[in-house]
Amino acid sequence: MIMIITQAIRFGIVFLYGSTGEILIEKAGHLNLGIPGIMCLGGVGGCMGAYWAYQGGAPAFIVVLLAVFMAMLFGALGGLLYGVFTITMRCNQNVTGLSLTTFGAGVLGFWGTQMGDKEILFAPASRYAFTPSLFFGASTPDNWFTTIFMSHGVLVYLGIVFAIVVSVVLKRTRTGLSLRAVGENPAAADAAGIPVIRYKYVSCILGAAIAGVGGAFYLLDCTRGSLEYVIDAMGWLAVALVIFSLWRSNISIFGSFIFGFLYILPRYIEGVGLAEKEILKVVPYAATALILIVISFFNKKETQPPASLGLPYFREDR
């Protein structure tokens, strides 16, 4: 059981990165369905960074740092691309996002095939830098508490820090207030003197950068360097988690554990056929649908998506 919870947290963090990024983007009024693709891009960047640093013989924390930096850079590039299309050119956000997903998954697939034997390439770097020993030292006592909360790589904690920071910024600061205003009513924000376009760009790029780290985390930490190309599938769950957590990244932390638990549960259930395990994978989506029904039932304005989510903004529109 302790094993399952530990794994649930670890997998949940992948969703947490994606949903924290997506929350930041959606709060600015942009529905980015390109999150799965951006996570793929981040995965590519993260692996590259970790591989280079490891080959160069850098200390462990530099390996992590470079991996995170490259993942954020690649993610940010995806976010910038999305921003240029949807903010400046005012393209349809759904179409742009979906094509970005296809693009990102394609890039990861292409790059993965080009790299050849991934096991040999990335597993050593992953074992070297993404182990808990970096964070807590090797001498932690072995009990249930440390197994659940302290046996993870450093990126697990970074994900939680990101989620908390985003939550605090959105709720407690003027910057967050302005950002939420942009997503709720860009005309009002504009009239109040908020640079709407700049806010939209910053949130699109920053959100994508955070989501990008999620991809790197999945490849380097969760799967220990073996490239299984299912990041985009996990990306969709991250988007679902945004709705599940009612656009709040602090709720998203707990939501991600639940999603992680539901995601890995089929692997640990004994005596169930393959088909039944496949069906169990539906549960997170079903839970999201249930949440949607419940919130529409209460019809509270605070639990609704940002009012101008998905709508382009142009000041001189009549």
Partner 1 sequence: MGNQLAIELVGITKAFGTKVVANKNVNMDLREGEILSILGENGSGKTTLMNMIAGIYTPDSGKIIVRGEEAVIKSPIDAFNLHIGMIHQHFKLVDLFTAADNILLGERMPDDYGKGPKFFRWIKFNHLSRDRVKKLQSTVDQYGFGIDLSRKIYDMSVSEKQTVEIIKVLYRGADILILDEPTAVLTPQEIDKLFAVLRKMRDEGKSIIIITHKLNEVMAISDRVCVLRKGEHIATVETAKTTEKELTDMMVGQKIDLNINRELPDNPKPRLLIRDMSVVNKEGRTVVNKVSFDVCGGEILGIAGISGNGQKELLEGIAGLQPKASGDVIFHNPKRDRPVTFYHHDLKKIKAMAAEGRFHYPNGERVDLTNIKNKEIIRLVEDEQILFYEDEIIDLKDKSPREIQELGIKLSFVPEDRLNMGLVGSMSIVDNMMLRSYRKGNSVFVNRKRPKQLADDIIRDLEVVTPNDMVPVRRLSGGNVQKVLVGREIASSPKVLMAAYPVRGLDINSSYTIYNLLNSQKQRNVAVVYVGEDLDVLLALCDRILVLCGGQVSGIVDARKVTKEEVGLLMTKVPDKIQNYTYEEMQEKGEDNG
- The residue ranges that bind partner 1 (CB under 8 A) are 172-175, 177-178, 180-181, 184-185, 187-195, 301-302, 307, 315-316, 318
In angstroms, what is the minimal distance from the CB of 316 to partner 1? 6
Would you call 98 helix, strand, or coil by DSSP?
helix
Residue among 184 and 221 whose Cβ is closer to partner 1: 184
DSSP per-residue letters across 228-249: -S-HHHHHHHHHHHHHHTTT-H
Residue among 177 and 265 whose Cβ is closer to partner 1: 177
Given a contact cutoff of 8 angstroms between Cβ atoms, the answer to whether 6 and 173 are in contact is no
In angstroms, what is the minimal distance from the CB of 191 to partner 1? 4
Find tokens 């640079």 and name the residue: 195
Residue among 196 and 234 whose Cβ is closer to partner 1: 196
Residue among 94 and 102 whose Cβ is closer to partner 1: 94
**Who contacts 255 (Cβ-Cβ below 8 Å, separation ≥6)?**
15, 19, 241, 244, 245
Residue among 189 and 220 whose Cβ is closer to partner 1: 189
Nearest CA to 43 out of 231, 260, 233, 239 is that of 231
Residue among 166 and 208 whose Cβ is closer to partner 1: 166
**Who contacts 314 (Cβ-Cβ below 8 Å, separation ≥6)?**
90
Find tokens 């496949």 and name the residue: 278
Task: Tell me which DSSP letter residue 310 carries.
Answer: T
Rounded distance, CA 112 to CA 250, Å? 34
**Who contacts 204 (Cβ-Cβ below 8 Å, separation ≥6)?**
25, 28, 30, 32, 79, 80, 82, 83, 86, 87
Tokens found for residue 30? 């942009």
In angstroms, what is the minimal distance from the CB of 90 to partner 1? 15
Residue among 44 and 166 whose Cβ is closer to partner 1: 166
In angstroms, what is the minimal distance from the CB of 177 to partner 1? 6
Given a contact cutoff of 8 angstroms between Cβ atoms, the answer to whether 103 and 232 are in contact is no
In angstroms, what is the minimal distance from the CB of 87 to partner 1? 16
